[in-house]
Chain A
Amino acid sequence: MTVGFVMLVHTALHRAEQVARHWATHGCPVVIHVDRRVKKEVYQPFVDSLSDLDNVVFSKRYACDWGTWSLVRASQDASELMLSRFPEARHVYLSSGACLPLRPVEDLKHYLAARPMTNFIESVTTEDVPWTVGGLDSERFTLRFPFSWKKQRRLFDRYVHLQRKIGYKRKIPDGLVPHLGSQWWCLTRQTLSAILEDPDRKAYDAYFKRVWIPDESYYQTLVRLYSNNIESRSLTLSKFDYQGKPHIFYDDHLQLLRRSDCFVARKMWPKAERLYATFLNPDVNPMKGTEPNPGKIDRIFAKAVERRVMGREGLYMQSRQPGHGKGHGKTSAPYSIFEGFSDLFEDFDEWLARSVGARVHGHLFAPERAEFSSGQKVFSGALSDHAALRDYNPCGFLTSLIWNTRGERQCFMFGPRDTQDITWLVATDPNAQISVISGAWAVTLFRSNLSFSEIRREAARLQKIETQHIDILRSQHVKARIRIWTMADFIESQMEPLQAIIDEIGPRNIRRLTEAPRMRDLTGFGQFLQNLKNQGMKPHLMGDFPMGNEPDTRPRSNKRPYLVK
Chain B
Amino acid sequence: MRLRRKRALWRAFRARRELTLIQDNTSRIRPDDILLICTLRNEYVRLPFFLKYYRDMGVRHFLFIDNDSDDGSRKLLLGQEDVSIWHTTASYRTSMFGVHWMNWIARKYCHEHWTLTVDVDEFLVFPFCDTRPIPALTDWLDNSGIRSFSAMLIDMYPKGPIDAQPYREGQNPFEIAEWFDSGNYMISMNPEYYNLWIQGGPRARLFFKDDPKSAPSLNKIPLVKWHRDYAYMQSTHMLLPRGLNLVYETEGGEKASGALLHAKFLNTFVEKTREELERRQHYAGSREYLAYHSRINDDPDLWCNWSEKYINWRQLEILGLMSKGNWA
Q: Which residues of A contact B (CB under 8 A)?
A: 241-243, 245, 247-248, 250-252, 269, 271, 300-301, 303-305, 307-312, 315-323, 326-328, 376, 378-384, 386, 388-389, 392-393, 396-397, 400, 403-404
Contact = CB atoms under 8 A, between A and B. Distances in A.
A392 B184 contact: no
Interface string B180-204: 0111111111000000101100101
A47 B128 CA distance: 36
A318 B257 contact: yes
A310 B253 contact: yes
B254 A243 contact: no
23 contacts: A251-B131, A271-B133, A307-B253, A307-B323, A308-B325, A309-B253, A311-B323, A317-B152, A319-B150, A320-B323, A321-B187, A321-B196, A321-B249, A322-B250, A322-B252, A326-B250, A327-B252, A378-B205, A381-B184, A382-B304, A388-B210, A389-B205, A396-B187
Given A307-B325, A311-B249, A319-B323, A250 B136 contact: yes
Given A243-B144, A383-B184, A250 B324 contact: no
Given A382-B304, A389-B204, A307 B324 contact: yes
Contact of A384 (B133, B205, B325): B205
B154 to A, nearest CB: 11
Given A300-B328, A382-B183, 17 more contacts: A252-B132, A271-B133, A271-B135, A307-B325, A307-B326, A308-B325, A310-B252, A311-B253, A318-B198, A319-B322, A320-B255, A323-B250, A384-B205, A386-B205, A386-B210, A389-B208, A396-B185
B213 interface: yes
A209 B219 CA distance: 48
B256 interface: yes
B183 A250 contact: no
B212 A388 contact: yes
B318 to A, nearest CB: 10
A335 to B, nearest CB: 15
Interface size class of B (residues with CB under 8 A): 35 or more
Nearest to B131: A252
Contacts of B308: 382
B152 to A, nearest CB: 5
B199 to A, nearest CB: 8
A545 B328 CA distance: 63
Given A242-B326, A317-B323, A392 B212 contact: yes
B205 A382 contact: yes
Nearest to B202: A382
Closest 3 CB pairs of A and B: A381-B183, A327-B252, A308-B326
Given A307-B323, A315-B320, A320-B254, A392 B186 contact: yes
Contact of A250 (B131, B307, B323): B131
A383 B196 contact: no
Nearest to A327: B252
A320 B182 contact: no
Contacts of A317: 152, 185, 187, 248, 254, 257, 320-323
A478 to B, nearest CB: 21
A418 B196 CA distance: 28
A318 B197 CA distance: 9
Given A307-B324, A319-B248, A382-B307, A388 B198 contact: no
Of the candidates A300, A301, A404, the one having the most CB atoms from chain B within 10 angstroms of its own CB is: A404
Most chain A beta-carbon contacts within 10 A, residue among B185, B188, B252, B327: B252
Contact of A326 (B135, B136, B252, B320): B252
A404 B150 contact: no
A379 B205 CA distance: 12
Contact of B183 (A269, A380, A388, A393): A380
A67 to B, nearest CB: 15
B266 to A, nearest CB: 20
B57 to A, nearest CB: 13
A171 B271 CA distance: 79
Given A269-B139, A381-B306, A404 B327 contact: no
A276 to B, nearest CB: 14
A321 B196 CA distance: 9
